[in-house]
A and B are shown apart, each in its own frame.
Chain A
Amino acid sequence: MPRPRADPISRRDFVRSAVAIGGVAALSACLGRESPDLATGPDDLSALPDRQHAWNAGLATDEYGNHVAARHQAVVLFDYAGEGTPTEAERDRVETALRSLERAYPRDHEGLLFTVGYSPTYFERFDASLPESVDLPAPEALAPFEDPDFDAADVVVHLASDYGSVVLGAEEALRGEVDSLNGVDVETSVAGVLERVDRRTGFNGDGLPADHQDVQGVPDSEPVDEDAPMYMGFKSNFSKNQATEDAVTIADGPFAGGTTQHVSQLHLNLQQWYEQDDRYHRVATMFCPAHAEEGLVEGAGDNLGETDQIAERGCPAHTERDAREAGVVGHSQKSARARDADGNPLLLRRDFDSADDDRAQLHFVALQEAISDFVETREAMNGTDLDGAVGQRQNNGILQYMQVVRRGNYLVPPRRHRSLPTPSPT
């Protein structure tokens, strides 16, 4: 139901702000605004999927069958608080805390979707190494023109829900700040075992970026369209351009059923994008020059359906030619050069925009079977191989408008090993 316009702060804006601020008071205020009427999660958790990252079945779909991202999201980083390696008792504590979340909320976009991942730093404390079936290098700069900081936290929890109060509630329950969630008792928390070291919040969904465009990186002219799910004005989660959950799942070894996760933080600088560039340039650089020439994209691009039409228009194969002859190449066009042997994308994007620190940002969360899949895709997106009239950033996809400030790599184990795993769990 739309709220009356007299409401001084819109509900969307209020909830997003509460998620960004965090804490019990924000949770309380957020609950008051949202009053979600949710079923609880199951008492019997044995039917939950072994893949933590199996979110798609719980996501809404649009008229084309594209999965729609949950509207409120957070990435919460923790360090292991103990000395040496985790004990069985600590492992049980974490697992019990996670099960409390699962009992409190249904495992879908209105309830709670979450994953727990572990960094290379976390695994360094063990004598044993990760098995060869897990490709989890330390994060590194992935372009010659970027100089990011690297996440060194041990644990990352990615939380997603259409309700900000669910995201906040889960975070506070993990930290031991609330005793009950959605009317369900919280049995225990990770407090004392895991210590929160950072939190990044955000949103993905029509209208949310427009509500939060009073941030650095977006010009004062309020250019972000009300229909846009992302700050740059276009939708991104076309199902044909997403890897399937099967494809990003680790096939073998003790972590079979898990996946790897890359989490990067990007500043968005959109004054040029919205005030100096025109629609032709925006479509050409986001999608492909052919899309701009033929006027394929309406509004945020919902008209494209279940695919961004990049492969269908032969854009990836034309990348080098476009760099020479069109003087511009598209972000999707370049990125789509990274595909598996069957022509499928390597990444399952679960990214979201953010107004943290009153700055337009993108938290790029991507799942892939191996981190090398992410590296390959990012290198394709860099376009540093292109020789022609495009610059390192200028007219080279959307590189002109973003700065990568942080990168982190994580292993998202299967659910059975999600709590403080050793490198070779049994």
Chain B
Amino acid sequence: MRRRRLLASGGLALGVGLAGCLDSLTGGGSGRPTQARVEDPPDAVYVPTHVEGMEMAGMARDGRLRFALSYSFPHAFWLVTGDRRRTVDIREADSVHLMVSAWDSETGMALPTSNATVSISQDGEAVVEKSLWAMLSQNMGVHLGDNVALPGEGTYDVALSFGPPEARGIGDLAGALADSASGTFQLEYSPSTLSDLPYETFPDRQGERDAVAPMEMEMQPTGQLAPAGDLPGRALGEGTSGDATVVAQALDAVPAGVEGEGTYLAVSARTPHNRYPVPLMALSATLSRGSRTVFDGELTGAIHHELGYHYGAVVDGVEAGDELTVGVDAPPQVARHEGYETAFLEMDPVSLSV
């Protein structure tokens, strides 16, 4: 077992300027190690050094879609291009980690990826405009987020331009995700509210192959997918790739919004422990029956009222004895918070015997 320890936090990693800034954010030298890292973490989902609570600034609705705007401390996170990962460190100017959560009110399904652009202004003056990254966080779930620099304490107007999501809506969500949507929020930002947010470190567990549980949120879904046993259709099997859990189901009725006739093959890629969808992957599948290949093609990202976010294709039936191989053409390009950045990068095919 490799030894893991907390890297030096705050002052050493960030320099005097940022340490001072964090002091002011956290109400004066409470020393929250927001930039702390686990040294030499496993290539898998692991318990982070710490998690922080978040404050909801407000909610908005457009048609059947719902949006929540929340914020937390600025976070380090990781962006992915292909199988390359890069670290985004906290800037001295960053005030908050801003998050938009989106879901369909009729099915409760979270929309983990989409165009989501926020324009932040104060007294009519533009402050920040940016398109948020699709992100995974162990305690805050799937969201669209980024660190944002605000000029100071005060009230900000936030205009959200959302959608349409890349994934198509199917089943009860057929046609529901085709258009763009918008929402407006007021963000009351004060460093003292931020410093009052709950904060928890995991000195004994950090670096372990496990995950922090999702936050309890009264007003919004966490984005967790249903347990494999509760998914619709026939269970074809389950495997793992790059520490993601890959669950395959066969739906004998092709859901609304999907063209073609036959059986709908649905592959749900989810985080271990917390069952969050793993979006922005390219998956393909090969279905073999004896010496015959009955399907060999790409899976398309979709959101279904029971399956949630998944990858699917119409195949000409799935029978007992078939061999299903799910290949990962590109790992998830979703941004990751601490504890997810080393997982879901090296991803082998998953083979299942039906």
Interface residues of A (CB under 8 A from B): 144-145, 147, 216-217, 220, 267, 269, 271-272, 275-278, 280-281, 284, 289, 323-328, 359, 387-395, 399-401, 403
Contact = CB atoms under 8 A, between A and B. Distances in A.
Contacts of B245: none
Contact of B332 (A145, A272, A389): A389
- Most-contacted residue by chain A among B81, B83, B332 (CB, 10 A): B81
Contacts of B115: 145, 391-393
B60 interface: no
A280 B86 CA distance: 10
A138 B93 CA distance: 43
B96 interface: no
Interface in B108-128: 113-115, 117, 126-128
B276 interface: no
Interface of B: 79-84, 86, 88, 91, 93, 113-115, 117, 126-131, 133-134, 146, 161, 163-166, 178-180, 182, 280-282, 284, 298, 300-301, 329-333
B280 A389 contact: yes
Contact of A388 (B117, B134, B178, B282): B282
Nearest to A401: B131
A393 B180 CA distance: 13
B113 A394 contact: yes
Nearest to B77: A276
A145 B86 contact: no
Contact of B81 (A220, A328, A388, A393): A328
Given A145-B161, A276-B88, A394 B298 contact: no
A387 B81 CA distance: 16
A35 to B, nearest CB: 36
A394 B332 CA distance: 12
B114 A392 contact: yes
B118 to A, nearest CB: 10
A394 B146 CA distance: 13
B91 A395 contact: no
Nearest to A217: B129
Contacts of B130: 269, 271-272
A319 to B, nearest CB: 13
A327 B180 contact: no
A218 to B, nearest CB: 12
30 contacts: A145-B115, A145-B161, A216-B127, A216-B128, A217-B129, A220-B93, A267-B129, A272-B130, A276-B88, A277-B79, A280-B84, A281-B84, A284-B81, A284-B82, A323-B282, A324-B282, A324-B298, A326-B330, A327-B80, A327-B282, A328-B82, A388-B329, A389-B332, A391-B115, A391-B280, A392-B165, A393-B115, A393-B117, A394-B131, A395-B81
B333 A328 contact: yes
Nearest to A278: B86
B87 to A, nearest CB: 9
Nearest to B84: A280
A354 B340 CA distance: 39
Contacts of A269: 129-131
A411 B83 CA distance: 46
Nearest to A328: B81
B164 A327 contact: no
A224 to B, nearest CB: 17
B79 A276 contact: yes
A276 B130 CA distance: 12
A281 B86 contact: yes
A326 B282 CA distance: 10
Contact of A393 (B88, B91, B131, B331): B131
Contacts of A144: 163-164, 178-180
A399 B166 CA distance: 14
Contacts of A401: 131
A98 B163 CA distance: 45
A325 B329 contact: yes
Contacts of B86: 276-278, 281
